[in-house]
Amino acid sequence: MQIDVLTLFPAMFSAYLGESILQRAQKAGLIRLNVHNLRDYGEGRHRVTDEPPYGGGGGMVLKPQPIYDAVDAIVKESAGARPKVILLSPQGRLFDHATATQLSKDPWLLFVCGRYEGVDERVREHLVDDELSIGDFVLTGGELAALVVIDAVARHVPGVLGDEHAAQRDSYANGLLEGPHYTRPETFRSWSVPEVLRSGHAGRIERWRREQALRRTWERRPELLLTADLSEADRQFLMTLAREMVDTME
């Protein structure tokens, strides 16, 4: 997979993209990451990339010309192939696990990081293929959002995590939050690892983990249960949780 990023602040990406899983993925040739400075495509001696909005109002807006020229130059280098162009913006559709999985199947993504009051609407209307937001809040720019999306998408690229099934065990992968994990020592400050995890009984451990995922989802994100793929055993366990809740209220 190839990922390109268009930003006014390319230095914001080097530290994160050069560490941990993303670094290993690049060294292994699983992901190619390129960060481009939008200012290189600005007009005039001062490389202007933004202007005040038409009609007045505060703030500045990113001009269409540098963004279009940058995308054209990036595409030209690829001998005609075109990436999926994604704008990071508070007005975009909400990014989630399903979107990350979907985007991981695209061979080439190009992220445009918004800044200031955003981008000229002609970029959104005629250049961008998708528009994403990572939450109902506003950041100073799209750089942090781009990093979040890149990290989440990269986890689904085959080989990136090493264990091919690792992403399938993440929270949201099966519609539930992930349950608790424990490691050594067996007892820490009088708190012990649950007996079932020390039993060595694979079937009991698997069911315990499923029930813990159900319990955590019930307690923290119950709306996810409405669309989760649940077995009859899962439903019976949820009924048990419901009875527990009623008992505590009496």
Of 161, 205, 157, 200, nearest in space to 181 by CA: 205
What angle is formed at CA 158 by the lines to CA 11 and CA 13, rounded to 5 degrees? 5
Whether residue 170 lies in the annotated active site: yes
Whether residue 155 lies in the annotated active site: yes
**DSSP strand pairing (50-51 vs 61-62):** antiparallel
Catalytic residue from among 24, 53, 69, 90 = 90
Whether residue 244 lies in the annotated active site: no
Catalytic residue from among 40, 69, 106, 117 = 117
Of 179, 156, 152, nearest in space to 237 by CA: 179
Rg, the chain, Cα only: 23
Whether residue 50 lies in the annotated active site: no
Catalytic residue from among 83, 155, 211, 215 = 155
**Phi, psi for 7 (deg, rounded to 5):** -150, 155
Where helices occur in the chain by DSSP H, the ranges are 11-17, 20-27, 64-76, 97-103, 121-126, 143-154, 195-198, 202-220, 232-249
Known catalytic residues are 90, 117, 155, 170
